[in-house]
Structure 1
Amino acid sequence: MRDKKSTLLYRWFDQVWNNSNEDAIEQMMTSDAHFQGIDDSLPKGAAGFRAFFKLFNTQFHDIRIDVEEVVSEDDMETARTVIYATHAGTGKPVVVPGLCMIRVDSGKIAEAWNSYDFASVDAQVG
């Protein structure tokens, strides 16, 4: 049986997002990490992700990300997740399913690929 709680991705979503621990970003992501599927205009690495984290938290409140499953092999992990949040502009709840895949280097996220159904947010908030 797999233990998803022992994976870096589980700890990432739990600490960074569910516990709103911004300092955990630098603890779990390299300073030069590359990430796909989020704002491409942001700098790379932990500093760039911190900027994304702050921006996301202005657009959504009461963020909770459930990690439904994690598959881990060698230096790669993939998590199937669901984001639950409140849209800041309308106050309406949103549910956004997605996937995140990472490459781990020295215990930290070195690369990440994100695929979330944010197109559905427009329909959810009207």
Structure 2
Amino acid sequence: MPSTDNAPDADVRANEEMVQDAIRVIWNDGDLDRIPESYTEDFVSHQPKEGFRWEPGRDGLRQLLTGTRKLFPDYHEHIEDCVASGDRVVLRLRNTGTLSEAMAGGPGKSFEVADFMLARVDGGKIAEQWGRFDLFGMYA
């Protein structure tokens, strides 16, 4: 017989919505003041070394996002798919942006790359994040 307790399903949906909202508001809109609403104080990123790796905690995330916005003022993470189970949320993303500084390809060079993210949610906030994106695609 199916469970009539909807609390776990509601928690999973809330986690999914919170992670998607963090992408939209913090990463896409650049509202860094909203970081404490979506990320734990001791947030840890497990990004690969060849990607965008940053220091633990909210301050490290703020530094990364500030640098990202400086290089790519129009940076955007397009959510293609989102699946949640328990305290985990997985996203398939398509990231886009236009380079503002002299770097591989020079100012004005646009990119579009595939990205995957796994977030662990604790207490309604992102506590850990794993990701893999096509870094080399940014330079193609």
TM-score range, shorter chain: 0.7 to 0.9
Contact 2:117/2:131 (8 A) holds in 1: yes
CA distance in 2, matches of 1:76, 1:100: 10
Listed one character per residue, the Cα deviations across residues 53-93 of structure 1 (whole Å, up to 9, x for unaligned) are: 01111111212211011100010000001111111122121
1:99 aligns with 2:109: no
CA distance in 2, matches of 1:7, 1:73: 12
1:79 aligns with 2:129: no
CA distance in 2, matches of 1:49, 1:69: 23
Q: 1:20 aligns with which of 27, 30, 36?
A: 30
Q: Secondary structure of the residue that 1:111 maps to in structure 2? A: strand
Which amino acid is 1:8 matched to? M
How far residue 110 of structure 1 moved from its aligned partner, in angstroms, is 0.4
How far residue 43 of structure 1 moved from its aligned partner, in angstroms, is 2.6
Q: Which runs of 5+ in 1 are unaligned?
A: none
Q: Secondary structure of the residue that 1:11 maps to in structure 2? A: helix
Q: Which runs of 5+ in 2 are unaligned?
A: 1-12, 102-106
- Structure 1 vs Structure 2 CA RMSD: 2.0
Aligned residues: 120
TM-score by length of structure 1 reads 0.86
Give identity over the alignment, percent.
25
Tell me which structure has the larger Cα radius of gyration.
2
Q: 1:29 aligns with which of 18, 39, 63?
A: 39
In structure 2, do the counterparts of structure 1 residues 118 and 39 end up closer, same or farther at CA, with 3 Å as the change threshold? closer
How far residue 39 of structure 1 moved from its aligned partner, in angstroms, is 4.3
Moved over 4 A (4+): none
CA distance in 2, matches of 1:7, 1:113: 18
CA distance in 2, matches of 1:117, 1:70: 19
1:117 aligns with 2:127: no
1:48 aligns with 2:65: no
Contact 2:98/2:111 (8 A) holds in 1: yes
How far residue 8 of structure 1 moved from its aligned partner, in angstroms, is 2.1
TM-score by length of structure 2 reads 0.78
Q: Name the structure with the higher strand share.
A: 1
Q: Secondary structure of the residue that 1:27 maps to in structure 2? A: helix
CA distance in 2, matches of 1:13, 1:68: 12
